Amino acid sequence: MRYAFAGLFIVMIFALLACMSVARRSYRKIKGAVLMLLGMLIPPMLGNLIIILSTVKIPATIGCYVYFIGMDAFIMALLHFTFEYCMIKWPSNIPRYLVYTLITLDVVQYALNPIFGQAFDTEAIQVDGRNYHRLLPYAGQTYHRLVVYGIFITILLIFLIKMIRSARVYMERYFVILITMVMTGVWQSYYIFSRTPVEKSMAGYGIFGLLIFYFTLYYRPLTLLDRLLANMASDMPDAIYFYDVFGRCIWANDPAIRLAGIKDERYDSATELLQKKFGDPGNYKDPEWSCTKILGHGADAQYYYHFKRTVTDDRGKATGDFLTIRDITAEQRILQQERYNATHDRLTDLFTKEFLFESIRRKLNENPEKDYLIIYIDIQNFKLVNDIFGTSFGDETLKQIAELLRKQVPDSGLFGRIGGDTFGVCIPKEDFHEKELDKELINFTVSHGNKEHQVVLHAGIYEVVEKDLDISFMFDRALLAMVTIEEEYQTHIAYYDEKIRKEVLWAQHISAQLKDALRKRNVVPYLQPIVNTDGKIVGAEALARWIHPQDGFLPPSTFIPVFEKNGMIVEIDRYMWRCACEILADWKKNGRDLFISVNISPKDFYFMDVAEEIKALVKEYDIDPVKFRIEITETVMMTDIDSRMKVLDELRQAGFVVEMDDFGSGFSSLSLLKDMPVDVLKIDMKFLKATADDDKAKTILQNILNLSDDLGMFSLTEGVETKTQLEMLSKMGCKLFQGFYFAKPLPLNEFDSFLASWGA
């Protein structure tokens, strides 16, 4: 029996060595502590093996040393392992050093035992018919036992506390090791204190080592995983259904039970219930399937995202399916709201420009056989509406126009807000009724609070003949049509036609050539003489002519309005002023005492510092400012009166003469005239023309002349064509005259010869 146990110990030592070599390959963090523990199990077993096999005293005593000191090392390794396994640390250094000291003392006293014999001795007894050296413990041995038991019990306590404090699923982890330790401990204690020869409990050490090896490195707590997964599935907000391979629902979590309305855990009813709720699932047999189902309509619609997947085992065989259903209504609402915000105007709730253009493009592409109209609608003088009635009234105006469009545009059409006060419509030609729209545009009155205002709306229409044209270009064309009605009162609708098309082409044509024409001096100043009451030529007006290499002689009416519109007039005016200065400088040299008036476009004031430029120019040519007259029109004063007045004041202070051109042609306000910083009133030729057959016109003209006199201004009448007119004007008190009666605008050389002949 004695040798049978020796054999068992040898097997166990080899088993532990095998476990260690396997454990070395583990990636677990605890590997180090486990290896040390397994390794430290071997010396006590080895010591015991020696004791069992020895029949002579000396080797048996050596076996005892190996056993006891090995025991010290083992208990330290077990303590280290316990700390790692239970994930705790030394509370402080005091107990730590205390334990180290106690163990060290134990080793020391064993080392002193051969001298003092205070720890143990052995006595020979007969076991299995041969000598066996049994231990005779003394005081030192008692110390050893106290230390080792003390530490061992502490370890048991640590495991116990850890186990009690853990969640149920983790208890197992501590329980198994604790039980093994207790059993091994009890078994060994029995041998120690009963002093039964042959310490069989060492077999328990081997088993303990093997269990530690398995539990720490190889055991996977399946119940723990199962619990975790099940808890996770139950706690998920999504509805989850599990199906077996036959398609039967075998389990569903709480949200799933509620969603399908499963009763009494009858999971197999889920398929039928879901079908009833969401309808036919479609390609449900696919290994992976998803779709969004919508319940209800409009604002009450509920969105559910379904996802199903087949689960397979290691060999790729289907083991069942799971289906999740998620309520995505909230996300969908947010998404829809974002989409709506991005495509709709905040104030009017109409389509934004981008979305309108996009939608029109789609509509045109989808209905290539249909004829469509593109309509551009604009509020006239919207800025004025805002200024006079306030922005809230302005906002209300825009909202009411949106309402009008909603009412008027049929479902076959599209409409939106394309700018601050502009709206766009696309409508099939067959659904458009011009008369109805005209009626709406004429009678459009906005009332808000106690304010009421008739808002003038204009519409430009482009019939979509080039379907591939960019939508923005289509609206550009509609806009071009619309601006043709700007000045008229009776018309509210205009169509883009051949005439407008030609105008646009012409504008593009000459705009592209202007810079070159100025450089080559193809634009030339013509001079039209201005005569005083004595019949003396006192000056001339410089008027632009374009001698075009291909298109021939171009009067200003063919290009000035184009450049007024696109702002390029600034280039021409700068150029003309310079020409006028060149001529004046030349005249100064030749002693000719005449002035030249130049025209200043309202646009000039937007794009340059008029006073600065003109002052610099006369300085450069060393000209007396009195000789350089400046013609402005009433429209200059329509915007930003104060700053315009300042510019004119500045020019007059610098010695320039300022003339009010075409007086009476626009909506001149007589009251404004008295504050106007002008020296000369150039009366529009329409007044003179009208006097031919109208006495009333004569009275008006007379009054204008009187007025200019009263305001201390010089008067000049344009368009004098006959001697009768001249005589009448002279009698009425007009001071200066300009017109074909004297001369048409002439090129410089002809003007020179005209002057010479006039003098004669």
Residues of the shown chain interacting with ligand C2E in the complex, contacts defined by CB under 6 A: 528, 543-544, 555-557, 560, 569, 572-573, 576, 599, 601, 631, 661-662, 718-721, 738-740, 745
**Shortest distance in whole angstroms from residue 355 CB to Mg ion:** 47
Q: How many residues bind Mg ion (CB under 5 A)?
A: 5
* 3 state DSSP class of 314: coil
Residues from 598 through 657 that contact Mg ion (CB under 5 A):
599, 631
Q: Is 701 exposed, middle or buried (0-12, 13-18, 19+ CB in 10 A)?
A: buried
Q: Which does 421 bind (CB under 5 to 8 A by kind): Mg ion, ligand C2E, none?
A: none
Helix (H/G/I), strand (E/B), else coil: 608: coil
Which residues in 715-744 contact Mg ion (CB under 5 A)? 718
Instruction: Report in angstroms how near the CB of residue 544 gets to Mg ion at its nearest.
Output: 10
Q: What are phi and psi of 594, to 5 degrees?
A: -125, 155
63 interface partner picked from ligand C2E, Mg ion, none, CB below 5 to 8 A per type: none
Q: How many CB atoms lie within 10 A of CB 77?
A: 19
Nearest to ligand C2E of 49, 678 (CB atom): 678
- Residue type at position 425: V
Our finding on whether 573 is near Mg ion (CB under 5 A) is no
* Selected binder of Mg ion within 303, 661, 705, 728 (CB under 5 A): 661
Separation between Cα atoms, residue 364 and residue 114, nearest integer Å: 111
User: Would you give the distance in Å from CA 244 to the centre of its chain?
Assistant: 46
Rounded-to-integer distance, Cα 550 and Cα 166, Å:
100
Q: Containing H/E element for 732?
A: helix 723-732
State how far Cα 80 lies from the chain centre.
57
Residue 150 partner contact from ligand C2E, Mg ion, none using kind-dependent CB cut-offs of 5 to 8 Å: none
Q: What residues between 401 and 430 interact with Mg ion by CB under 5 A?
A: none
Mind giving me the DSSP string for 658-696? EEEEEETSS---HHHHTT---SEEEE-HHHHHHTTS-HH
The first and second tokens of residue 212, run together, are 């530690």
Instruction: Give the nearer residue to ligand C2E in terms of CB position, either 41 or 569.
Output: 569
Q: Which does 610 bind (CB under 5 to 8 A by kind): ligand C2E, Mg ion, none?
A: none
CA–CA gap between residue 329 and residue 306 (Å, rounded): 13
Angstrom CA distances, 420 to 328, 376, 395, 399, 481, stand at 37, 13, 10, 12, 19
Q: How far is the CB of 567 from ligand C2E (least distance, A)?
A: 12
Q: How are strands ordered across the β-sheet holding 302-312?
A: 249-252, 239-243, 318-327, 302-312, 288-295
Nearer CB in complex with ligand C2E: 544/657: 544
Provide the minimum distance between the beta carbon of 559 and ligand C2E in the complex, in angstroms, as a whole number: 9
**Token pair belonging to 248:** 């039967």
Residue 631 C-beta: closest distance to Mg ion, Å: 4
Which does residue 528 bind out of ligand C2E, Mg ion, none, counting CB within 5 to 8 angstroms by kind? ligand C2E
Which does residue 740 touch among Mg ion, ligand C2E, none (CB within 5 to 8 A, set by kind)?
ligand C2E
Nearer residue to ligand C2E within complex by CB, 199 or 659: 659
- Cα 637 to Cα 141, 561, 648, 651, 711: the distances in Å are 120, 18, 11, 15, 18
Residues 129-158 touching Mg ion, rule: CB under 5 A, are: none
Q: Which is nearer to ligand C2E, 418 or 701 (CB)?
A: 701
Which listed option, Mg ion, ligand C2E, none, makes contact with residue 739 (CB within 5 to 8 Å by class)?
A: ligand C2E
Rounded to whole angstroms, the Cα distance separating 41 from 71 reads 8
> Exactly one of 662, 664, 716, 754 binds Mg ion (CB under 5 A); which one?
662
Quick one: 531 or 720, whose CB is closer to ligand C2E?
Answer: 720
Give me the residue whose beta carbon is nearest to ligand C2E: 739
**Which of Mg ion, ligand C2E, none does 757 bind, CB closer than 5 to 8 A by kind?**
none
Contact residues for 130 (Cβ-Cβ < 8 A; gap 6+): 2, 55
Q: Cβ closer to ligand C2E: 325 or 683? A: 683
Nearer to ligand C2E, 540 or 572 (CB): 572
The nearest distance, CB 569 to ligand C2E, in angstroms, is 6
Between the CA atoms of 179, 182, 187 and 192, what dihedral angle is there, to the nearest 10 degrees? 170
Q: Which is nearer to ligand C2E, 455 or 569 (CB)?
A: 569
Can you give the binding site for Mg ion, defined by CB under 5 A?
599, 631, 661-662, 718
